[in-house]
């Protein structure tokens, strides 16, 4: 069977439960805050792991795949405030069946948040507001688009 990769451009597919405000303390279970905070010390600039807990189970029920949900956390912007950054969380799951009985890899919409190495959000400066607004605009434009298929 041919494997296909699809980029999902709809939060509805993931139940809406993973969309997070750009300026919020991290409370999402499944992606452990300690896991995300490791990105601040990563020499590679990113950290990989897996979604766990109820969020993984919920997504696996929706996608009908028992494959693990891979998570990659990356710093996309370092703020002037020491130890603070805008972080992007990307999630991907393989083995998702389609109506035509193919198995595809799903890239879920990215999640971005502002966070400091101590787990708190940064001070809401003009820089943080500007970067957040730009990121939200880019993500909105990306999510408005229709499904994109790569063969």
Q: How far apart, in whole angstroms, are the C-alpha atoms of residue 73 and residue 88?
A: 6
What is the SS3 assignment for 37? helix
Number of Cβ within a 10 Å radius of residue 121: 17
pLDDT level of residue 32 (50, 70, 90 thresholds): low
Higher pLDDT, 81 or 2: 81
- Specify the pLDDT at position 56: 83
- What is residue 76's predicted lDDT score, i.e. its pLDDT? 94
Res. 125: pLDDT tops 50: yes
The number of beta carbons lying within 10 Å of the beta carbon of residue 72 is 15
Residue 103 has φ and ψ, to the nearest 5°, of -115, 130
Euclidean distance between CA atoms 53 and 61, whole angstroms: 13
pLDDT, greater one: 74 or 18 = 74
Q: Cα separation of 45 and 85, whole Å? A: 12
Specify the pLDDT at position 28. Answer: 46
Residue predicted with more confidence, 149 or 117: 117
- pLDDT band for position 145 (cuts 50, 70, 90): low
Whole-number pLDDT of residue 16: 33
Mean pLDDT value across residues 78-85: 96
Top pLDDT among 11 and 44 is at 44
Return mean pLDDT, the chain. Answer: 76
In the predicted model, what is the mean pLDDT of residues 91-99? 92
| CA 61 – CA 89 distance, rounded (Å) | 21
If you average pLDDT over residues 16-40, what whole number do you get? Answer: 52
């Amino acid at each position: 069977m041919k494997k296909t990769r699809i980029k999902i451009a709809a939060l509805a597919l993931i139940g809406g439960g993973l969309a997070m405000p750009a300026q919020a303390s991290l409370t999402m279970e499944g992606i452990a805050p300690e896991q995300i905070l490791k990105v601040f010390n990563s020499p590679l600039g990113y950290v990989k792991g897996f979604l766990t807990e109820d969020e993984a189970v919920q997504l696996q029920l929706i996608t009908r795949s028992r494959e693990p949900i891979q998570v990659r956390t990356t710093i996309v912007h370092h703020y002037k405030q020491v130890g603070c950054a805008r972080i992007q969380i990307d999630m991907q799951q393989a083995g998702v069946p389609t109506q035509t009985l193919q198995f595809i890899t799903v890239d879920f919409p990215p999640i971005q948040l502002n966070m400091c190495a101590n787990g708190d959000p940064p001070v809401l400066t003009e820089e943080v507001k500007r970067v957040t607004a730009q990121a939200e605009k880019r993500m909105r434009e990306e999510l408005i688009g229709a499904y994109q298929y790569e063969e």
